[in-house]
Structure 1
Amino acid sequence: IGKWHQGGTADYHPFRHGFDEFFGFLHEGHYFVPPPYNGVTTMLRRKSLPHGYTGRWVGEKGLIYTDHMGGNEPDYDADNPITRGGQPVVETEYLTDALTREAVDFIDRHDDKPFFLYLAYNAVHSPLQGADAYMKKFVHIEDIHRRIFAAMLSNMDDSVGSVMAQLRKSGLEENTIVFFLSDNGGPTRELTSSNLPLRGSKGQMYEGGLRVPFMMQWKGTIPAGQTYEKPVSSFDIYATAAANSEGVIAPELVEGVDLVPFVTGKKKGVPHETLFWRQGGKCGLRHGDWKIVRMGGRKSPGKSQWELYNLSEDLSEETNLAQSDPERLTELIERWEKMNSEMAEPLF
């Protein structure tokens, strides 16, 4: 349910990748409400503003344009309808509410048997559209940009509450593992989201781009209210689910690890001694508390240099130790290169 973003043609449809039901959209984003944007406050990016304005333009009809990002809002809805199964549908509800409605209904219909639900909210991704009721809730926030973001976030927060309420109503809390996480750090300039005290944002290899909220619930098994400090990965979701679901046989090679023994205290140590990243020319590796980063270009590293940080003392990655600890830098680069040699070439 929600954002798929794994390919928009038939070969990549959720139905051909193990899912029995689908409600959502196939590409990177979607408007929460289509034109004429009724019931929401809408703020869109534009390369240039009406009448030669710069900064922010507010029209008499209430639509807001901003040029602070230097480009236009992506054409999210082009060839990207809301679909149920494989057929387009006309959705009239605010998108976050619609996805919640579908998730609650899915749980209600399947609570008599095992199920897997992947609910990928579009919020708080752009475009910035805050529903009227939530805009009123945050009327005290003077900056309209920040207010819309807060409205979208609060709307999603209430939606997660509705999904959890249905789990309780169905009597499944003690028989269901729930994961809640973000896919990347916040894009601060675009949405006003803050990653402080972490450095960087979405699309970067610094902690502000990689470190995200990650919560687990399994009532009666995982102790509530604890904070687990050691590094985990979204890869661990599959491994955890497979290891704790009856009748599931995991393949021989699983990238992640079962987190339940770690968060229940049955297993000591760390789930991951080493974490590896590569996205085009941007690279990173964490080994223990040490981390290397190379912020290259979109497709190649170019002339970018490796940086070295000790996260146990410098979580904000302010002090590059590459020059003062060249031996450790070389050791970590060798680790990255070894892991990289085991990876497939990127398909894009």
Structure 2
Amino acid sequence: MLPTIHIALLVLTVFVALCDGQHPNIVFIVADDLGWNDLGFRNKHVISPNIDKLAGMGMILDQSYVQPVCTPSRTAFMTGVYPFKVGQQHLAMLPAQPSCAAMDKVILPQKLKENGYSTHMLGKWHLGFCKWECTPTYRGFDSFYGYYNGQVDYYNYTILNGTDFRDNKQPIRPKEYSTFEYAKRADEILRTHNKSQPLFLYYAFQSVHEPIEVPKSYEDKYSWIKNEGRRKYLGMVTALDDAIGNLTESLKQAGLFDNTLIIFTSDNGGWPQFFGNNYPLRGSKISVYEGGTRASAFVSGKGIKNPGTTYKGLMHAVDWMPTILSAAGVKQVSSTDGIDMWDSLQNNNPSKRTEFIYNLDDKTPELTGHAAIRMGDYKLIEGNPGLYHGWYPPPEDESILNTDQFNEIPLVPQLYNLKDDPNEHNNLFWKEREIYKKLNSRMEEYKKDMVPADYPGNDQKSAPSNYGGYWTPGWC
């Protein structure tokens, strides 16, 4: 038996290892439908001091990419696998679809929980709920406070004649604006957390997805803006920012801030139809143009050695899982598409990623079928890029919003040099034929791994009227 003093020293060594960075706390924040041009560090009109401060204390990611819509991005975050390999490449999951994302994959919270992390989720799931096994507390989260679908009302938590909100498995209906509710629960989680155990908080905000709703006090912060929808939208951004300010303060009050890595990203680009803005990038949510897929993102806090910098290297949504596992000191999951970027982010080293797939989707090609790849500085788009092909200046000075969402679908592939032409104005398809052939050939290789999209029809058994008015698992 070890002498008492040796046991005490062993316990102290383990505690120091946990608190000194081997196992940092990790907060992974996802903002929903936030545009490239919708934060203060890019747009002087946006009031987001808390986010701007965290970004300034850390590293802004200038070329961090996501999927064009919600469910595919969240699939990539959680699995480290391209959505086209697991059937989640086509649009976003609908409430009555009997579908669950990547049930055969070990996802991020499961791996962290297996390695001693306390795991919590707030906000939007959107990875399926037709059976309980699909839902957060069955997939690695110790607690869940949020909703299963892609959107709900910010005040009454309803969608399509049903309420959608859970405290773990318990159906509830919170009383306040959802952003405030999440802030309160985040504070509770942090205040009661056992500091001898590392923490993972997946904070998947509802904001700023439509419906466009915000307390009037936030809208009034933008009273000079003529466009009512844009006023409210930016008010939602500022409410989100306040919640992140509350999170930062709660981390400090709980004595966790200095050992916490904070990751922030949007899940796709802003949606001009609902007042999000990606200018000067081209396109929107739903499209594979840069405006739909180039995320506002940054890392801040524990382990980031070059604060106040902008990282120019490539990164994709599938990289977050291996990067977070590496930051946590946890063994990687095999057979993913993600690249461990932790050393690159920590030390501002060149990116290990040289190419990625924006999306491969062959379902209903006359509407949304498209394929896009980036290799080095070049990007190739084939098929319909998705709705919203144009460039949409912020409507701060306009009372009417013009989105020209249904402009003509290009008849030829589109090839861009994103280093010289980041806003995708000049199609090089006819000029750079050899480069086109190279990217096209590589994309065809990826297509060999594409599986059919899991996009079933609606199932009437899902109706909330069958479950006391709540969207509830148990019908598939």
Range class of TM-score, shorter chain: 0.7 to 0.9
Q: Is the 8 A contact 1:205 1:294 kept in 2?
A: no
Matches within 5 A, 1:287-306: 287-296=375-384, 305-306=412-413
Task: Give the CA deviation at 1:78.
Answer: 3.3
> Any idea what the Cα deviations from partners look like across 1:58-84, whole Å, max 9, x if unmatched?
xxxxxxxxxxxxxxxxx7253342111
Q: 2:414 is matched with which residue?
A: 307
- Which runs of structure 2 are paired with 1:247-266 in the superposition (5 Å)? 248-265=330-347
TM-score (norm 2): 0.60
Change beyond 3 A, Cα 1:82–1:340:
same
Distance 1:274 1:220, change over 3 A: closer
Cα distance between partner residues in 1 of 2:385 and 2:172: 39
Q: For 1:183, which of 242, 248, 267 is the aligned residue?
A: 267
Aligned to 1:199: 282
Aligned CA distance change for structure 1 residues 118 and 143 (closer, same or farther; 3 Å): same
TM-score (norm 1): 0.81
Shift of the alpha carbon at 1:14?
0.9
Q: Which stretch has the larger CA shift, 304-313 or 19-28? A: 304-313
1:340 aligned onto 2:459: no
Q: Percent identity?
A: 28
Q: Quote the offset at 1:297 in angstroms.
A: 8.0
- In structure 1, C-alpha distance between the alignment counterparts of 2:232 and 2:151, rounded to whole Å: 17
- Structure 1, 114-123 or 216-225: larger mean CA deviation: 216-225
1:292–1:329 contact (8 Å) kept in structure 2:
yes
Q: 1:250 to 1:263 in 2, by over 3 A?
A: closer
Question: Per-residue displacement from partner, 1:28-70 (whole Å, max 9, x unpaired)?
Answer: 10111139xxxxxxxxxxxxxxxxxxxxxxxxxxxxxxxxxxx
Structure 1: any 5+ residue segments left out of the alignment? Answer: 36-74
1:27 to 119, 135, 149: 149
Q: State the shift of 1:266 in Å.
A: 6.7
Cα deviation, residue 275, structure 1: 0.7
In structure 2, distance between residues paired with 1:261 and 1:154: 32
- Contact in 1 for aligned 2:311/2:348 (Cα 8 Å): no
In the other structure, the counterpart of 1:275 is: 356
Is the contact between residue 304 and residue 347 of structure 2 (CA under 8 Å) also seen in structure 1?
Answer: no
SS at match of 2:298: strand
Equivalent residues of 2:381, 2:413 under 8 A apart: yes
SS of the equivalent of 2:440 reads helix
Query: Cα distance 1:107–1:257, how it changes in 2: closer, same or farther (>3 A)?
Result: farther
Q: Give unmatched runs, 5+ long, in structure 2.
A: 1-121, 364-368, 387-408, 456-476
Whether 1:114 and 2:198 are equivalent positions in the alignment is yes
Counterparts of 1:144 and 1:221, CA distance in 2: 39
Q: Does 1:102 align with 2:185?
A: yes
1:16 to partner: Cα distance: 1.8
Alignment length (residue pairs): 303
Show the counterpart of 2:28: none
Residues 31 and 77 in structure 1, CA contact (< 8 A), matched pair in contact too: no
Describe the SS at the equivalent of 2:156: coil
Give, in whole Å, the separation in 1 of the partners of 2:373 and 2:162.
37
Do the aligned partners of 2:306 and 2:346 also contact (CA within 8 Å) in 1?
A: yes
Q: The residue matched to 1:2 in structure 2 has which SS?
A: strand
SS at match of 1:18: coil
How many Å apart are 1:12 and its aligned residue?
1.4
Q: Which residue of 2 aligns with 1:322?
A: 429
Report the more deviating stretch, 322-331 or 212-221. 212-221
Partner of 1:131: 215
Output the aligned Cα RMSD: 2.1
- Matches of 2:156 and 2:411, distance apart in 1: 42
CA contact (8 A) 1:296 1:303 kept: yes
Q: Cα distance 1:80–1:339, how it changes in 2: closer, same or farther (>3 A)?
A: farther
Letter in 1 for 2:445: K
Which residue is equivalent to 1:230?
313
Residue deviations 1:297-345 (CA, integer Å, cap 9, x gap): 88xxx99532100001111111111111111111101101101212333
* 1:155 and 2:239 aligned: yes
Counterpart of 1:215, as a letter, is: F
Match of 1:249, as an amino acid?
K
Greater relative CO, 1 or 2 (CA 8 Å, sep 6+):
2
Counterpart of 1:170 (choices 254, 262, 266) is 254
8 A Cα contact 1:23 1:85, kept in partner: yes
Check whether the contact 1:111–1:172 (CA below 8 A) recurs between aligned residues.
no
| 2:133 counterpart residue number | 11
Whether the 8 Å contact between 1:25 and 1:81 is mirrored in structure 2 is yes
Q: Structure 1 residues 125 and 175 mapped into 2: Cα distance closer, same or farther (>3 Å)? A: same
